[in-house]
Amino acid sequence: MLGVARRRLGSGCVLGQLMQALRPAAAAAARTYSAAAKEMTVREALNSALDEEMSADPSVFLMGEEVGEYQGAYKISKGLLDKYGPDRVLDTPITEAGFTGIGVGAAYQGLRPVVEFMTFNFSMQAIDHIINSAAKSNYMSAGQINVPIVFRGPNGAAAGVGAQHSQCYAAWYAHVPGLKVLTPYSAEDARGLLKAAIRDPDPVVFLENELLYGESFPVSAEVLDSSFCLPIGKAKIEREGKDVTLTAFSKMVGYALQAAEILSKEGISAEVINLRSIRPLDRATINASVRKTNRLVTLEEGFPQHGVGAEICMSVVEDSFEYLDAPVERIAGADVPMPYAANLERMAVPQVEDIVRAAKRACYRAVPMAATA
């Protein structure tokens, strides 16, 4: 990696010196993921996507805290230091502003950095580089500067980590022109979207979920092929239905699928849309579904005000208002900092039963409050 940077930038450049200083000292254990598996965890999917893209393109490199010797805080980069060496898998100091700035500068020069945040809550230390440098440079240079960089790491609530480590940044970064924001749910999503993000000429914010890393999903031979890549900006219909549309992303897709199964036993056919991409947002798929089901429930972990659900609701009001047979229902996290107490934490994030109740209200199947008095 350093050799590539020197050839592009000159051996005496600041970037080259900083990258040299950040070299880790030892190799990691061998990678254990097997591409022959018929099921794959999200962790394995991310690892294999990184591996294949680094193998295919020598300008791709990974940097972040503990990505090398420790093999990643969540073992996403397991085996990559051993395979590609310290020039392309760089352990950094605990300074998000510093290494994110280095990454953006490398992208200016044609390299393809993948910057890992141990949690996206720490990206706030680097948000100036992400928004004012990475997102705006292409526009401000009249298209002369591309910034092919990926910012990735776990996003949203985990468990028992308090208010400062539990935020969802989907709406934060989706607000910014110049950024693309991706939110994988399954192993297929993780593998195909990360490959697309690394190959994209623009900066991509790639929001993973810590609680999904160990989840296994069935994958096809097509997904396992090294050429597999998913289009950015295209949602996936995870389950077809005719009575109500449920939109979700990341971990909440699983909750929506559970709710849809419960609803099916009560005669309600729910269509579940896995958004995959928050910016650009697949408005066409959302509106086509609403025009079929005539009802909409949006689901997200983040705060409700100015959230992803609010944007989806406005899109439907603008394009499909006359098709709605009921008010749009929005399920989101509570409008409070995340509590630390486990019982309060559960109340602050959406649960499957919340989705079921909202879908029933949209279908006019909820028990009126007066009837329960």
SS3 at position 135: helix
Name the active-site residue from 69, 165, 215, 261: 165
Would you tell me how many other CB atoms lie within 10 Å of the CB of residue 72?
26
Per the annotation, the verdict on 175 as an active-site residue is no
* Rounded distance between C-alpha atoms, residue 272 and residue 110, angstroms: 39
End-to-end CA distance of the chain: 69
SS3 at position 261: helix
Asked if 256 and 272 count as a contact pair (C-beta separation under 8 A), the reply is yes
Is beta strand 216-218 parallel, antiparallel or unpaired with respect to 39-41? antiparallel
Residue 41, beta-bridge partner list: 216
Enclosing H/E stretch for 280: none
Asked if 73 and 46 count as a contact pair (C-beta separation under 8 A), the reply is no
Name the active-site residue from 44, 52, 96, 311: 96
Q: In what order do the strands lie in the sheet with 180-182?
A: 89-91, 60-64, 112-116, 150-154, 204-208, 180-182, 277-279
* Rounded distance between C-alpha atoms, residue 353 and residue 81, angstroms: 44
Enclosing H/E stretch for 115: strand 112-116
Burial of 127 (0-12, 13-18, 19+ CB in 10 A): middle
Per the annotation, the verdict on 266 as an active-site residue is no
* Rounded distance between C-alpha atoms, residue 21 and residue 17, angstroms: 6
* Rounded distance between C-alpha atoms, residue 278 and residue 176, angstroms: 11
* Rounded distance between C-alpha atoms, residue 231 and residue 308, angstroms: 20
Would you tell me how many other CB atoms lie within 10 Å of the CB of residue 356?
23
* Rounded distance between C-alpha atoms, residue 99 and residue 10, angstroms: 19
The set of catalytic residues is 96, 165
